[in-house]
């Protein structure tokens, strides 16, 4: 199937939503995102259900376990499966987290990298390996974290810029992660946003998060998007234009109609940016 790139506003493709989606996808949804690890090895009914959607909509692959920052060799068998899966379903974009998630085994968490020159060189080399294996530039996502690794030689935004430049890759911007980290660690989310290499941005995430009784923000993807995240998305569009943007929701699912309303909020913001650009031109 020829590769198709995402456009407009999208939604995470989740099994919990399949029955509702088979009955009808909200009009605001232009594309879907999935984790290839959860679908590439599936056959039977699951494979048929997925194919029915990939024949109608563009999809994005957003990886969970490539372990770009980890110490073990990259999983080349996984990369080969992902490349074949993307070709089979016409998927034109792959993104992963700028983090590490395994050593001797899978840790099932996304852990932060130290902001050092050595870490830049290490992870950039591994990103280049992944890009060679997939035959495309990939997007790396700024991750949420709850402990900052010691020994930082640069700020996180500078670290991300250095990795993108060293690896020759793209940026996958998650505005919710910025809001979570900024609140937990006490920095300005808009200053951080504008320090990122937004000229290399290819794709954007929005999501909701939880607030613990002590005020700690947890990046759960289990709640509605809040106003500060929407405001940061608007600020990002001011720099990047209305790039394809996906709503992440991983549990505590409302109705598909309610999720469609949040996706419609993304689409409305994209339309305002397009309108403003046309007026300025």
pLDDT interval class at 281 (50, 70, 90) = low
3-state SS, residue 178? helix
Q: pLDDT, tens digit, for every residue of 49-79?
A: 999 999 999 999 999 889 999 888 999 999 9
Strand pairing category for 245-248 and 31-34: unpaired
The 10 Å CB-count burial string (b at 16+, else e) for 18-46 is eebbeeebbebbbbbbbbbbebbeeeeee
Distance CA 86, CA 138 (A): 13
Distance CA 218, CA 221 (A): 9
Token digits of residue 274:
């397009």
Distance CA 31, CA 49 (A): 16
Token digits of residue 18:
């399949």
Enter the DSSP assignment of 168: T
Residue 141 has pLDDT above 90, yes or no: yes
**Is the domain defined by 9-280 classed in CATH 3.20.20.150?**
yes
Residue 221 has pLDDT above 70, yes or no: yes
Q: Looking at the whole model, is its pTM more than 0.75?
A: yes
Q: pLDDT, tens digit, for every residue of 103-127?
A: 554 555 678 899 999 999 999 999 9
Q: pLDDT, tens digit, for every residue of 180-216?
A: 999 999 999 999 999 999 999 999 999 999 988 998 8
Distance CA 96, CA 113 (A): 14
Distance CA 130, CA 121 (A): 14
Q: What is the pLDDT of residue 215?
A: 87
Kindly write down the DSSP assignment for every residue of 94-138, as one continuous string.
EEEESSEEESSSEEEEEEPPP-SHHHHHHHHHHHHHHHHHHTS--
Domain extent listing, the chain: 9-280
Of all residues in the chain, the percent with pLDDT exceeding 90 is 79
Q: What is the mean pLDDT of residues 84-96?
A: 97
């Amino acid at each position: 199937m020829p590769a198709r790139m995402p456009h407009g506003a999208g939604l995470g493709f989740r099994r919990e939503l399949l029955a509702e989606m088979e009955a009808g996808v909200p009009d605001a949804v232009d594309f879907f995102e999935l984790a290839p690890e959860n679908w590439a090895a599936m056959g039977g009914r699951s494979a048929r259900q997925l194919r029915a959607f990939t024949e109608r909509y563009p999809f994005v692959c957003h990886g969970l376990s490539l372990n770009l920052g980890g110490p073990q060799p990259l999983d080349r068998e996984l990369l080969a499966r992902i490349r074949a899966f993307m070709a089979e379903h016409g998927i034109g974009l792959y993104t992963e987290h700028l983090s590490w998630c395994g050593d001797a085994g899978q840790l099932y968490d996304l852990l932060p990298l130290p902001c050092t020159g050595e870490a830049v060189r290490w992870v950039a080399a591994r990103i280049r390996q992944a890009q060679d294996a997939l035959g495309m530039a990939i997007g790396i996502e700024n991750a949420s974290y709850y402990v900052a690794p010691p020994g930082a030689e640069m700020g996180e935004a500078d670290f991300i810029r250095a990795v993108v430049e060293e690896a020759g890759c793209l940026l996958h911007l998650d505005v919710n992660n910025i809001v979570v980290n900024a609140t937990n660690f006490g920095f300005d989310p808009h200053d951080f946003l504008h320090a990122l290499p937004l000229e290399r941005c290819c794709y954007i995430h929005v999501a909701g998060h939880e607030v613990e009784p002590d005020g700690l923000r947890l990046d759960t993807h289990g709640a509605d998007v809040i106003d500060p995240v929407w405001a940061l998305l608007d600020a990002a569009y001011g720099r990047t234009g209305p790039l394809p943007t996906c709503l992440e929701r991983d549990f505590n699912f409302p109705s598909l109609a309610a999720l469609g309303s949040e996706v419609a909020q993304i689409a409305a913001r994209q339309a305002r940016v397009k309108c403003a650009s046309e007026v300025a031109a």
